[in-house]
Amino acid sequence: MSLHIHWPEQWAEVVALLFLVLGFFISALLHNPTFSYIIVFLCSFLAGRVFYMKRFSEPILPFVLIILGFLLGYLIGSFWVSRFWILVFFAIGFISSYYLHLKKILVIFKSKDWIK
């Protein structure tokens, strides 16, 4: 059995697997529920930003797989917190970040409106 990875076709799966492992380790190492909820909120805020940036410029499915890979890894590794509240904080952070970028309250650094 060969583990040869054809990078141009399978990069999204490999990166999603790496983010799944990263999410698992981050979640498993955080024993304090408050820190765990803060970290998942910040990560979801970043995921909303990435989703906003890539939504029209590239195929979106690879980035959705990467975001879901991180969320799944974080959910698997969350031993000391409620998985329901992890999903709630992730959804709130993702939706609020996407909305703030959509309404141009937060802007992308490469945009013309960033420096005024």
DSSP class per residue in 41-98: HHHHHHHHHHHHHHTTTS-SHHHHHHHHHHHHHHHHH-SSS-HHHHHHHHHHHHHHHH
Q: How many domains does the chain have?
A: 1
Does any domain span residue 77? Answer: yes
Asked whether residue 81 is assigned to any structural domain, the reply reads yes
43: tokens are 């990560």
Q: Is residue 113 part of a domain?
A: no
**This prediction's pTM:** 0.84
Residue 69 lies in a domain: yes
- Judged against a pLDDT cut of 60, whether residue 35 lies above it is answered with yes
pLDDT 10s digits, 61-115:
999 999 999 999 999 999 889 999 999 999 999 999 999 999 988 877 665 655 4
The pLDDT tens digits of the residues spanning 45-62 come to: 999 999 998 888 878 899
Q: Which domain holds residue 99?
A: 45-105
Residue 60 maps to a domain: yes
